[in-house]
Each structure stands twice: as C-alpha cells, then as structure tokens.
Amino acid sequence: MLSRRNFLTAAVGVAAAGGLAACAKKDDSSSSSSGGDSKTITLGFSQVGAESGWRSANTTSVKDAAKEAGYTLKFSDAQQKQENQISAIRSYIAQKVDVIAFSPVVVTGWDAVLKEAKAAKIPVVLTDRSVETSDESLYVTLVGSDFTDEGRRAAKILEKVIATAGLKGDVKIAQLEGTTGAAPAIERAKGFKEVMDADHADDWKIVVSQTGDFTRAGGKQVMAAFLQSNPDVNVLFAHNDDMAIGAIQSIEAAGKKPGKDILIVSIDGVKDGFVAMSEGKINAIVECNPLLGPQLMDVVKKVHDGETVERWIKTKEGDFLQDQAKAALPSRQY
C-alpha cells in the first residue's frame, strides 16, 4: 500500500509506437536497470492526459517510480480521448510489452482491446480509474481510490463546513462534475448524493450540475453560467480542485466571496488547492492521492512474476478543513 507522508499534525483525522493516433502525444524515453538487461520489465502506460494538477503529479509519480524500479517505460498521453488510449494499448500489444497499465478516460468501451491484450497474454493493470467490462478477467487489478467514498466524505465534511460557517436555511448546491462517463465523476456524484438523500433530504438540494471536464477553464466557464442561472447558490461541490480554482475566479468576478458567500468543498488535495484553502477561498478538501507510481510498480512486478494480487488495491487518503491548510501546505509534494 502507498504510504502517506506525515505532512499533518496529530489533529488531522478530520481531513494514464507508430500505431498511435496522430493527435496522441508519446514520450519514447525509457529507463532500464542496467543497459541492455534482457530481464528488464517493459511497461506500457497510457495516461488520460494532463487536464489537472493531480494528473500531472500522477504522471510524474509513474515516470519517476518506473525509473527507480529499473523498468523500461513506454508512455503515451491520450489527451483525454478514448480512441487515443485504445490505439496506445494496441501499440503496446504489437510491441509485446510485459505489462500494460492505463488510467481509463471513461468507464465503458474497453472490452475489445482488453480481449486483444488477453489473447496476447499481456496482463493489464488499471490505475486510478475503473472500467465496466463483460469479463472481469480482462484486467488483473485496479490501483486507485474509492471515488464513491470520496463523494460520501465530501458530503460529510460539508456538514462541518456549514456548521462552522453558521449557514442557516436551505443549502443550495452547485455541482461541478468531472468528465462525463469517467469513473471519478460518476462515483463522486453518487457518493455525495447518497449522504445528501439519507441525511439532508429536507434542507440540501443540488440546484444545478454540469461537467467542467476536470479543468480550471471548464470550472471557470461553467461556474459563470451557474451564477447567471442560479445566483442564490450558497455551496459549490467540485469534483476536483482545478475546477474549484477556476470557479473561484468566476465567483470573485461576480462580486461574491468564495469560502464565505459560497462555501466550497472539492476533491484532490493538490498544492494550489491548499493555497486556496490557506486564503480562505476553499473550505474543505477530500484527498485523492496521485502518487500511485511506487505502488503501481510493485504491482507490475508481482503481476509479471505471476504472483497473486488483490483485485482492488486502495490508496490511503484524508480530509482537510480550512484551519488545517497552513499546517498541510508546506509539506505537500503534489
């Protein structure tokens, strides 16, 4: 399991070859343990893209961990397009890599290419995001977070935020969703709504909800539209920090104070999110740790060696409130 850094005080307990599509970026650089070692594991990794600070930190973690492990890494950036990832995976199959890992852009549409990998006897490991398949044997394991639980925790921490702020009356929530069809968008929304429906059916309401594609630009644009159509929203639930940061710009442009006039809860825990918390503009963050690289490399070795691994390998996470931001910020590494 991925060990979390000790970046908080004891008070913290509350807190993805020539066969690629032309538009997909590819980094042909590779790393190996000792020049030309025929036993070096070759890993093909397809990343979603570089849509957020979280994703960039995740990519860096994977590349650094592969180098440290002495693996040959073949990396591709799908630029948030499923067709690019499918092309990358087929390229890895053609190159006969030892293991394929990828963070799926969306949940569905993977059966055909995963069957091709299975037929080629190349094991597949999912990172960060899950998929829906007709045959679960098409991939070995998932290394990532429980997104549904992150949504639940966001709702629970919002309860604390509302109590601290002294917000009275109806809670009118604007929701900035992640990329349509992506596992974190689906599951974070589901978990949040579970708690809302169970505990706050009478006083909480999601009055407007739309995708911001996990990007700052998307968060800014969609939040501006939210404020036009629903100027009385008093809470924002953003599926990631980057959308929340973009939304803050629109909230301020509308003459409102983020973190006060509109309470904000987001998910991820990247450095810029903590900066916004330290400035009082985000009230709480549910962590989704992007540093999956070392954990992934351990799993890749076990899979390559034929060892049994858990079906789902979860990361450890936390929740953070505004008053913890200054304690957490200096030690954040992503």
Q: What ranges in 240-323 are assigned the alpha helix state H?
A: 241-253, 271-278, 293-304
Q: Which residues does the chain have with pLDDT short of 50? A: 1-38
pLDDT at 281: 98
Separation of alpha carbons 214 and 223, rounded Å: 13
**Predicted pLDDT of residue 326:** 80
pLDDT on residue 214: 97
CA-to-CA distance for 295 and 278, rounded, in angstroms? 30
The whole-number pLDDT of residue 196 equals 98
Q: CA neighbours within 13 Å on the CB side: how many for 211?
A: 10
- At residue 279, φ and ψ (nearest 5 deg) are -90, 0
Beta strands in the chain (DSSP E): 25-27, 42-47, 72-77, 99-102, 124-128, 141-144, 171-177, 204-211, 235-238, 263-268, 284-287, 312-314, 319-321
The predicted pLDDT at position 32 comes to 40
Model pLDDT, residue 317? 87
Per DSSP, 290 falls in state: -
3-state secondary structure of 207: strand
